[in-house]
Chains A and B, each alone.
Chain A
């Protein structure tokens, strides 16, 4: 018994000693690996754009000695991960994101304000408007995205001048469903918004500073009812132009097959249309009223974590490096969307597709990021889908306005 016990003790001590050595080595290499300045920025980037940022990250490390670690994240989970991890101290210093997250991020207190200083004037107006929340800028914008009308130029050689003209041109080309737009059982107000604005019914009014004012709900104004009537006339019991059975996949297939000549969609779908051999032209969105049909603009950018311990370096990296023309052009190349920096946007507009989207984007309005918008989305699409499917437009729209107003409180 005695011998065995001592043997075990001896072996055990060897094990523990080796454990110490192992961990010791680990700790030692950790200390040695840190940048001399002791600074390190962690940046969450969506997987498609990691490569575009590598150059900027390395240049920054070379100049300042601050190490920049780019972490590739799935775009679908970045927001939730950020909101949940920042309060635990595990989150990144900077994350890539979209401006309409802003309401949620600020309500949860996970983003820090960002001072763009004088460089704010170098960005497109809509980008700065989108990055601003409650009078404070929270985001460094890098791209502006909006929907526009794709046209199959082989089927219809000339751009449509109005909504009715578009349908007429398509029918003249022998198509039964000339125009498709993504809907679905719960509607898709994002894609219908340009038509709604053409009737003079934005969701919210704006206050003096140009920010959306949640207390000024414009959804239920006269224009809203006019839009509802029009929508009903183009729905199931009318011309049938809008159909909730057409989802994204069906709309895409119709355009790619050439059974539809017009497709209201965003730049993310242009690639597949071009690949399918379609002669794509990008047109302004044809208005049903003669007033401008303004789509929503979505602005992408970078947010600074409220719990970042490297705010100075992070701010410097964002404003002075990611806000430079070269980096914005790099990002544009990886995603094919319009850069937010005016100078870079001009360069990118030499591409006719980008120029087309950018021309439509000139009329675009930033999608509201205020938390009240969550209450709007909740009822908006369902109500539009009901109208398209033949519900009474007036009553449905009235209920929508009342529901939203009640939810905002």
Chain B
């Protein structure tokens, strides 16, 4: 029966003669014309407007910043992707490395991950769940997400971000775009944070040694 539906629908489409003749041109991606420092600055500002806590940090001080961010919320039980770089983590912090599908995530208060791309135009971080980012459930179940973004991962515009993510998408990787902690305004348009996703989003924006401020 279903093969019949497919044939029927395609036949109906063909009969509509909707084909247009005019060629169609996509607007090419315009590379950012601004200094990168400015782009990073705007990302930090816009992400903060989404009530993410943005902390600018030198690469060497990342573990310290992670410890401090966890302490603010009194969170001790953190889970991390199995391949999160060891050097990001503060010494002595007991974290659980995620084992796909086996770990029950509900006892964890916090999760620490990397990201794939960050977008200045909208204040968004994107995870393509590649190295250091873990499976999707990881950044969804715990209440506190600490997301490490390197400055070089910040792009100016949405089209640039989409272009950077193309390879991941074509390889079949899922994407999670995050702009601030979860939120609802369904009740009389009053904003409430953290309905189902993490209630707290910390973005640790890492300045690499090689990348001098301009």
A-B interaction: no
Question: What residues make up the interface of A, taking CB atoms closer than 8 Å to B?
Answer: none
Question: What residues make up the interface of B, taking CB atoms closer than 8 Å to A?
Answer: none
